[in-house]
Amino acid sequence: MDSIENLKYPIGKYKWSSSQPTAEQKRNLLEVLINFPEQLREEVEGMNETQLQTPYREGGWSVAQVVHHLADSHAHAYLRCKHALLEKQPEIKDYTEADWASLEDATSNDLSPSLSIIGGIHSRWAKFFKSLSEDKFNLEYNHPERSKNYPLYIVLELYTWHSLHHLEHIRVLKKNMDWK
């Protein structure tokens, strides 16, 4: 991977699984989902306004935008999971992440609302995933813009990856800027 690719995907790109994770893998994924809100809070705690408005890479989002994006994205994904459980292969509504990230609420240095959303969503999402039987993990929603169905086990893997992906963006930025 070249330098820009390393900055875009510091933990690598998500790799789509062909089968459900094992029970142990599910437990590990759920642990990441459960622990993520506190890890994110610790990474951004004490950052000043300039640091919060610093993009993690050239052309990338600021730290503040990343945090607000995580709240928006994970809220959408959580609700999509509930639709998949309660409806027969629902077609989800997509959104343009870049447009959402440019809105005033997504550029604010006040991260507390988004950190609260992430904490609440992850708590409920973990309970949701823990409640699913193996056959329910195969339920899926349709993403029409990507012409793809997303089984719930993929959603668990994908959003665990997504959490760590953006957490690493912030960590790499802090390290490269020599911020403590």
**pLDDT exceeds cutoff 50 at 58:** yes
Predicted local confidence at residue 86, as pLDDT: 98
Whether 72 is in a domain gets the answer: yes
| Domain span at 52 | 22-176
pLDDT tens-digit series, residues 7-54: 999 999 999 998 999 999 999 999 999 999 999 999 999 999 999 999
What residues contact residue 101 under an 8 Å CB cut-off, 6+ apart?
61, 65, 68, 69, 107
CATH code (residue 78): 1.20.120.450
Task: Give the model's confidence band at 2: pLDDT under 50 very low, under 70 low, under 90 confident, else very high.
Answer: low
Q: What is the pLDDT of residues 158-175, one digit of tens each?
A: 999 999 999 999 999 999
Taking alpha carbons only, the member of 166, 161, 158 closest to residue 61 is: 166
Residue 124 belongs to some domain of the structure = yes
Q: What is the mean pLDDT of the chain?
A: 96
Range 74-79 contact pairs with CB under 8 angstroms and sequence separation of 24 or more:
74/117, 74/118, 74/121, 74/122, 74/125, 74/159, 74/162, 74/163, 75/117, 75/121, 77/155, 77/158, 77/159, 78/121, 78/124, 78/125, 78/128
Domain count, the chain: 1
12 domain-assigned: no
Establish if 10 belongs to a structural domain.
no
Does 15 fall in a domain? no
The reply to whether 120 falls in a domain is yes
| pLDDT tens by residue, 83-114 | 999 999 999 999 999 999 999 999 999 999 99
Q: Is residue 89 a part of any domain in this protein?
A: yes
